[in-house]
Structure 1
Amino acid sequence: MRCTIVLEFDNGDGSVVKRVEVMRLHRPIEDQTPGDVGLSLSEGKSLLNCVQQEFVVEQIERFFASRRSCVDCGVQRRLHDNHCSEMKTALGKVYYCRERWKACNCGADGARYVSPLKNYLTEASTGELRWLHVELGATMPYRQAKAVMDLLLPTSGRDNHVTIRNHTVAIGKSIQHARPVRRWCETEKPIAELGIDVGYVRRARCNRKGSGKENRAEAGNRSSSIAVVVAALGQAGKQPRVWASAMPRTRRLNQEMTRFLEDSGYGDPNEVVVLTDGAWDLAGVANDLPYDNEWILDWAHIGRMLRRVEQAIAPLAYGRLTDSGSAFELWDLFVRFRHYVWVGRIAAWQQFEARLAHLLDLRETRDPAVSSQVRKASYSLSNVVTYLDSNAESLIDYRTWQCAGGRISTGFVESSINRIVGRRMCKSQHMRWSRVGAHSVVQLRVALLNQEFHELARRQFPWIGQRRVTWPWQRTSQPF
Structure 2
Amino acid sequence: MKSPRFYYCQCAQSNARTFSPLKSLLPDHIAPELTYLETKWASLVSFGITVDLLKEVLPINASLCAESVRNHLHKSARRLEAELGEEQLFFVETRQSTRAALPVPEGPITVGIDGGYVRCRDNGQSHFEVVVGKSIPQDRPDRYLGLVQTHDAKPRRRLHELLKDQGWQENQCVTFMTDGGDSVRDLAWHMAPASEHILDWFHITMRLTVIGQYVKGLNHVNPKDGEQIGRLLRQIKGYLWNGNLHEGKIVIEDLTCDLEEVETSYASIKALRKAAAEFQTYIENNADMIPNYAERRRYGERVSTGFVESTVNAVVGKRFGKKQQMRWSKSGAHLLLQTRTRALDGTLRQKFEQWYPGMKCETQDPAFDKLAA
TM-score norm. by structure 1 comes to 0.60
C-alpha deviation, 1:189, in angstroms = 4.4
Q: What one-letter code is carried by the residue in structure 1 that aligns with 2:29?
A: A
Please tell me whether the aligned partners of residues 254 and 288 of structure 1 are also in contact (alpha carbons under 8 angstroms): no
Equivalent of residue 157 in structure 2, options 255, 266, 274: 255
Q: What does residue 137 of structure 1 align with? A: 42
- Inter-CA distance 423–354: structure 2 relative to 1 (3 Å threshold): same
Determine if contact 1:101/1:115 at 8 Å carries over to the other structure.
no
Give 1:392 shift.
2.0
- Please show how residues 363-382 of structure 1 align to structure 2 within 5 Å: 371-372=266-267, 380-382=275-277
**Displacement after TM superposition at 1:177 (Å):** 5.6
1:100 is aligned to 6
Question: Post-superposition shift, 1:260?
Answer: 1.8
SS in 2 for 1:340: helix
1:204: how far off?
A: 3.4
2:285 matched residue in structure 1: 390
Residue 284 to residue 153, structure 1, CA distance change in 2 (3 Å): same
1:204/1:114 Cα in 2 relative to 1: closer, same or farther (>3 Å)? Answer: closer
Deviation at 1:261, TM superposition (A): 1.6
Separation (CA, whole Å) in 2 of partners of 1:416 and 1:187: 30
1:127 maps to what in 2? 32
CA–CA separation in structure 1 for the residues paired with 2:153 and 2:104 = 28
User: Helix, strand or coil for the counterpart of 1:98?
Assistant: coil
Q: Which residue of 1 aligns with 2:146?
A: 244
Shift of 1:172: 1.5
Question: Which residue in the other structure is 1:343 paired with?
Answer: 242
- The residue number in structure 2 matching 1:423 is 318
Which has the higher mean CA deviation after the structures are superposed, 392-401 or 410-419?
Answer: 410-419
Contact 1:287 1:293 in 2 (8 A): no
Aligned partners of 2:177 and 2:198 also within 8 Å: yes
Match of 2:79 among 170, 174, 191: 174
Between the aligned partners of 2:191 and 2:207, the Cα distance in structure 1 is: 31
Aligned equivalent of 2:169:
267
Q: Aligned residue for 1:151?
A: 56
Structure in which a larger fraction of residues adopt strand? 1
Aligned to 1:201: 118
- Paired position in structure 2 for 1:459: 354
- Aligned partners of 1:290, 1:262: CA distance in 2, in Å? 11
Measured against aligned partners, the alpha-carbon deviations of 1:384-403 in whole angstroms (never above 9, x if no partner) come to 33322332222221111222
Pick the structure with more helix per residue.
Answer: 2
Distance 1:320 1:121 in 2: 76
Find the aligned partners of 2:3 and 2:189 in 1 and give their Cα distance: 59
Q: CA deviation at 1:444?
A: 0.8
2:89 counterpart residue number:
none
Q: CA deviation at 1:344?
A: 1.6
Secondary structure in 1 aligned to 2:163? helix
Q: Report the secondary structure of 1:163's partner residue.
A: helix
Q: Is the CA contact 1:236–1:405 (under 8 Å) kept in the aligned structure 2?
A: no
Higher relative contact order (CA 8 A, sep 6+): 2
Q: Against the structure 1 CA distance between its residues 338 and 136, is the aligned structure 2 distance closer, same or farther, given a 3 Å change threshold?
A: same
Are the equivalent residues in 1 in contact too, given 2:151–2:331 (CA < 8 A)? no
**Residues 1:329 and 1:428: Cα distance change in structure 2 (over 3 Å):** closer
Alignment-derived partner of residue 57 in structure 1: none
2: CA distance, partners of 1:415 / 1:231: 10
* Higher CA-based Rg: 1
Deviation at 1:340, TM superposition (A): 0.8
The gaps in structure 2 that reach 5 residues or longer are: 85-102
Query: Displacement of 1:298 after TM fit?
Result: 1.5
Distance 2:74 2:180 in 1: 33
TM-score, normalized by length of structure 2? 0.74
Instruction: Determine which of 319, 340, 356 is the counterpart of 1:445.
Output: 340
CA gap of 1:462–1:333, structure 2 versus 1, over 3 A, is same
CA-to-partner distance for each residue in 1:358-380, whole Å, 9 max, x for gaps? 77789x66xx6x74577766555
How far does the alpha carbon of each residue in 1:122-177 deviate from its partner, in whole angstroms, 9 at most, with x for none?
Answer: 34332222222212211222122212323343332412111111111111222346
Letter in 1 for 2:301: G
SS in 2 for 1:188: coil
How many aligned residue pairs are there?
Answer: 344
State how far apart, in whole Å, the 1-side matches of 2:78 and 2:43 are: 13
2:210 maps to which residue? 308
Q: Distance in 2 between matches of 1:445 and 1:200?
A: 16
Query: For 2:25, what is the secondary structure of its paired residue?
Result: coil
Instruction: Verify the 8 A CA contact 1:190 1:269 in the aligned structure 2.
Output: no
Q: Is the 8 A contact 2:152 2:334 kept in 1?
A: no
Matched with 1:352 is 251
Alpha-carbon shift at residue 443 of structure 1 (Å): 0.9
Runs of 5+ unmatched residues, structure 1: 1-86, 88-95, 180-185, 206-218, 323-327, 474-480
CA RMSD of aligned residues (A): 4.1
2: distance between equivalents of 1:150 and 1:414?
A: 35
Aligned mates of 1:344, 1:402 — CA distance in 2: 12
The answer for the alignment partner of 2:94 in structure 1 is: none
CA contact (8 A) 1:340 1:346 kept: yes
Could you tell me whether the CA contact under 8 Å between 1:197 and 1:276 is conserved in 2? Answer: yes
- Secondary structure of 2:24 counterpart: coil
Asked if 2 retains the 8 angstrom alpha-carbon contact of 1:195 and 1:274, the reply is: yes
